[in-house]
C-alpha cells in the first residue's frame, strides 16, 4: 500500500502537462533494497508528470573501507559535537555522488530528491518558474525544511528577505541555516563548492550545506515549501544526533570552534547578507536617542521608544 495519495495531475496554462521539464535533470536518492520507497516515488513522480533517475544510495550498513576512510572524525567531534552514524555518512556520500555527476557530465540546474517525501501538485510549475527566473544569485534553492522557524517564517530571524514571488510562493534569502535535505535545486557552482568543502563527511549533508559562512552558499528557500518529509515513512537515518563522550582537549577544541563559527558567521551576515540575523533596530534607536540627549547637554533621560513605531526587519 502506498504511504500517501499522490497529488492530482495538473495542467499549466502555457505548456499543458509537464512531461518532465526536459531541461531539468532530476535525481532521486534511494537505497537499492528500499523497493517500497522506490515504488512510492515512482507513483508520486508519475502523478506529477516528472521523469527522474534513481541513484543507488550508499548503504550505511555496508560501508566499504574506502568509504569509511572518508569520514573526518576529528572534525565531526569539533564541529558537529557528535559522531556521525554510518547511515548519515552513507547519506552524505550519496549526495556527493550527485554533485560529482553534475560537474563531470556538465549538467545544469538539478533537482535532488530523497525517497521519503511528499509534495504539492504544483511542484512542476514551481520548478518551471525557478528555472525561468535567471535573475536570482542562488546556488542552492531549498524546497524543504524541518526547522519550524524556517517553515513558517513568522519571525524576522526565520523569515529573512523576500527576493522574488512565484504566484503564491516567495523566494527568501536567509541569514541562518535551513535544516533539511529532502528536496532542493542546485546549480553547477553550488555542486562544485560542496565538493570542495565537504568531500570528507563531518556532519549531515544538510547541516554541512547550512555552514554558509564557510562554503559561501547563501541560504535561499521557497515558501510555502512544496516538498515535505512523509511522516508515514520510517527514517533510515535513525537518531539525528548521537552525542559523543569528549575528552578535555576535545571539549576545548569544540568551544574554540563554536566561538570561531559565531564570529565568522556574524561577519558574513554583516558583510554579505546586509546585517545581523536579529532585529537590532530598537537598541540602535535607543542608543541614538541617548547620544542626542547627552550631546545636547540634557540631563533628562531620553523618552523610551515604543516598539510599535520601530520598523520591522525586512
pTM: 0.81
The three three-digit cell numbers of residue 297, written as one number: 547637554
Q: Is 18 part of a structural domain of the chain?
A: no
Backbone torsions φ then ψ of 174, nearest 5 degrees: -100, 170
Decide if 285 is inside a domain: no
| 267 neighbors 275 (Cβ within 8 angstroms) | no
Closest Cα to residue 273, out of 212, 209, 196, 198?
212
Residue 295's pLDDT is what?
Answer: 60
Residue in 246, 265, 80, 109 with CA at minimum distance from that of residue 186: 109
**Angle, to 10 degrees, between the axis of helix 188-197 and the axis of helix 86-104?**
130
pLDDT at residue number 156: 83
126: domain range?
A: 25-249
Match 547511515 to its residue by C-alpha cell.
Answer: 87
What CA–CA distance (Å, rounded) separates 302 from 293?
Answer: 6
Torsion of CA 155, 160, 161, 163, to 10 degrees: -110
Cell of 189: 557552482
pLDDT at site 84: 94
53-62, 92-101, 160-169, 241-250 — which is least confidently predicted?
Answer: 241-250
Residue 298 pLDDT > 70: no
2: in domain:
no
Residue 176 resides in a domain: yes
95: which residues sit within 8 A by CB, 6+ positions away?
Answer: 29, 112, 181, 194, 205
Mean pLDDT of the chain: 84
Given a cut of 80, is residue 191 above it in pLDDT?
yes
pLDDT tens digits for range 89-139: 999 999 999 999 999 999 999 999 999 999 999 999 999 999 999 999 999
Assess if residue 264 is contained within a domain. Answer: no
The answer as to whether 304 is a domain residue is no
Q: How far is the C-alpha of 252 from the C-alpha of 254, rounded, in Å?
A: 5
**Residue 21: all three cell numbers together:** 521539464
Q: Of 26, 30, 27, 53, which is closest to residue 40 (Cα–Cα)? A: 30
Q: Which of 13-22, 50-59, 263-272, 303-312 has the lowest mean pLDDT?
A: 303-312
Alpha-helical runs (H) found in the chain:
35-48, 65-69, 73-75, 86-104, 123-132, 148-152, 156-159, 188-197, 205-209, 212-215, 248-272, 281-295
Q: Give the pLDDT confidence of 224-278 residue by residue, as tens digits.
A: 999 999 988 877 666 556 666 778 888 888 899 999 999 999 999 999 887 655 5
How many structural domains compose the chain? Answer: 1
Residue 43 has phi, psi (to 5 degrees) of -65, -45
Q: What's the confidence (pLDDT) of residue 251?
A: 85
Domain at 107, CATH number: 3.90.550
Query: Is residue 295 domain-resident?
Result: no
The pLDDT of residue 14: 42
Parallel, antiparallel, or unpaired for β 110-114 and 25-30?
Answer: parallel
Classify the C-alpha dihedral 72-264-221-238 as positive or negative. positive
Assigned domain for 9 exists: no
Amino acid at each position: 500500500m502506498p504511504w500517501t495519495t499522490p497529488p492530482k495531475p495538473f495542467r499549466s496554462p502555457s505548456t499543458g502537462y509537464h512531461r518532465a521539464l526536459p531541461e531539468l535533470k532530476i535525481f532521486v536518492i534511494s537505497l537499492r533494497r528500499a523497493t517500497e520507497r522506490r515504488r512510492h516515488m515512482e507513483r508520486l513522480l508519475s502523478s506529477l508528470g516528472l521523469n527522474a533517475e534513481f541513484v543507488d544510495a550508499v548503504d550505511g550498513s555496508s560501508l566499504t573501507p574506502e568509504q569509511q576512510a572518508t569520514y573526518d572524525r576529528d572534525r565531526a567531534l569539533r564541529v558537529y559535537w557528535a559522531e556521525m552514524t554510518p547511515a548519515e555518512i552513507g547519506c552524505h556520500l550519496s549526495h556527493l555522488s550527485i554533485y560529482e555527476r553534475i560537474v563531470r557530465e556538465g549538467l545544469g540546474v538539478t533537482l535532488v530528491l530523497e525517497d521519503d517525501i511528499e509534495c504539492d501538485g504544483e511542484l512542476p510549475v514551481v520548478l518551471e518558474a525557478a528555472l525561468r527566473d535567471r535573475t536570482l544569485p542562488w546556488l542552492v534553492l531549498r524546497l524543504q525544511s524541518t526547522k519550524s522557524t524556517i517553515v513558517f517564517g513568522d519571525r524576522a530571524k526565520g523569515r529573512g528577505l523576500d527576493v522574488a514571488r512565484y504566484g503564491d510562493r516567495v523566494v527568501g534569502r536567509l541569514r541562518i541555516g535551513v535544516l533539511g535535505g529532502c528536496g532542493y535545486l542546485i546549480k553547477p557552482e553550488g555542486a562544485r563548492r560542496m565538493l570542495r568543502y565537504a568531500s570528507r563527511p563531518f556532519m549531515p549533508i544538510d547541516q554541512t550545506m547550512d555552514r554558509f559562512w564557510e562554503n559561501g552558499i547563501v541560504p535561499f528557500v521557497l515558501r510555502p515549501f512544496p516538498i515535505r518529509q512523509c511522516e508515514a515513512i520510517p527514517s533510515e537515518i535513525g537518531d539525528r544526533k548521537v552525542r559523543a563522550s569528549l575528552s578535555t582537549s576535545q571539549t576545548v577544541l569544540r568551544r574554540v570552534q563554536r566561538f570561531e563559527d559565531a564570529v565568522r558567521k556574524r561577519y558574513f551576515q554583516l558583510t554579505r547578507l546586509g546585517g545581523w540575523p536579529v532585529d537590532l533596530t530598537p537598541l540602535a534607536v535607543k542608543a541614538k536617542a541617548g547620544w542626542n540627549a547627552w550631546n545636547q547637554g540634557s540631563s533628562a533621560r531620553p523618552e523610551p521608544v515604543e516598539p510599535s513605531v520601530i520598523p520591522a526587519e525586512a
